Amino acid sequence: MDRRKLIASSAAATAAMALAAPAVAQSAPVIKWRLTSSFPRNLDTVFGIAEVFARNVGEATDGKFQIQAFPAGEIVPGLQAADKVSDGTVEMCQTASYYYWGKDPTFAFGSAVPFGLNARQQNAWMYFGGGLELMNEFYASYNIHALPAGNTGVQMGGWFRKEIKTLADLKGLKMRISGFGGKVIAKLGVVPQQIAGGDIYSALEKGTIDAVEWSGPYDDLKLGFHRVAPYYYYPGWWEGGPMLHFFINTAKWEALPSAYKAVITAASARANVEMQAKYDYLNPGALKTLVAQGAKLRPFSTEIMEACFQAAKDSYAEISASNAPFKKAHDAMMAYRNDAYLWQQVAEASYDNFMMSQQRKKLL
| Residue 339 reports pLDDT greater than 70 | yes
- Burial environment of residue 252 by CB neighbours within 10 A (0 to 12, 13 to 18, 19 or more): middle
Evaluate whether residue 104 is within a structural domain: yes
Evaluate whether residue 270 is within a structural domain: yes
- Mean local confidence (pLDDT), 107-130: 98
Q: How many domains does the chain have?
A: 1
Given this model, what pLDDT does residue 101 score? 93
| Residue 158 reports pLDDT greater than 80 | yes
Mean pLDDT, the chain, rounded, equals 92
- Mean local confidence (pLDDT), 317-321: 98
**Rounded to an integer, what distance in angstroms lies between the CA atom of residue 24 and that of residue 238?**
48
Evaluate whether residue 216 is within a structural domain: no
pLDDT-derived band at 195 (thresholds 50, 70, 90) equals confident
Domain of 45, CATH number, reads 3.40.190.170
Domain span at residue 95 reads 26-151+241-281
pTM score, whole prediction = 0.90
Burial 192-206 (b: 16+ CB within 10 A, else e): bbebeeeebbebbee
Evaluate whether residue 182 is within a structural domain: no
Beta bridge partners of residue 248, listed in sequence order: 92, 145
| Spatial CB neighbours of 316, under 8 Å, sequence gap ≥ 6 | 330
| Residue 237 reports pLDDT greater than 70 | yes
Evaluate whether residue 223 is within a structural domain: no
> Which pLDDT tens digit goes with each residue over 28-40?
899 999 999 999 9
pLDDT-derived band at 194 (thresholds 50, 70, 90) equals confident
pLDDT-derived band at 196 (thresholds 50, 70, 90) equals low
| CA 109 to each of CA 102, 124, 187, 194, 294: distance values in angstroms, whole numbers, following the listed order | 13, 14, 20, 20, 35
Find out whether 110 and 146 touch, Cβ atoms under 8 Å.
Answer: yes
Find out whether 228 and 161 touch, Cβ atoms under 8 Å.
Answer: yes
> Which pLDDT tens digit goes with each residue over 63-113?
999 999 999 999 999 999 999 999 999 999 999 999 999 999 999 999 999
| Residue 7 reports pLDDT greater than 60 | no
Instruction: Determine which of 16-20, 85-89, 155-159, 198-202 has the lowest per-residue pLDDT on average.
Output: 16-20
- Mean local confidence (pLDDT), 229-236: 98
Given this model, what pLDDT does residue 19 score? 37
Instruction: Determine which of 19-33, 88-102, 283-297 has the lowest per-residue pLDDT on average.
Output: 19-33
Task: Name, of 198-202, 219-223, 296-300, the range with top average pLDDT.
Answer: 296-300
- Mean local confidence (pLDDT), 44-60: 97
| Residue 26 reports pLDDT greater than 70 | no
Evaluate whether residue 3 is within a structural domain: no
- Mean local confidence (pLDDT), 236-257: 97
| Residue 197 reports pLDDT greater than 80 | no
pLDDT-derived band at 179 (thresholds 50, 70, 90) equals confident
Beta bridge partners of residue 94, listed in sequence order: 37, 246
- Mean local confidence (pLDDT), 202-230: 94
- Mean local confidence (pLDDT), 336-358: 95
| Residue 218 reports pLDDT greater than 50 | yes
Which amino acid, 249?
Answer: N
Evaluate whether residue 313 is within a structural domain: no
Evaluate whether residue 50 is within a structural domain: yes
State the number of CA atoms in the 13 A half-sphere of 12 facing the CB: 6
Q: Tell me how crowded residue 15 is: count the other CB atoms within 10 A of its CB.
A: 10
**Rounded to an integer, what distance in angstroms lies between the CA atom of residue 220 and that of residue 67?**
29
- Mean local confidence (pLDDT), 243-250: 98
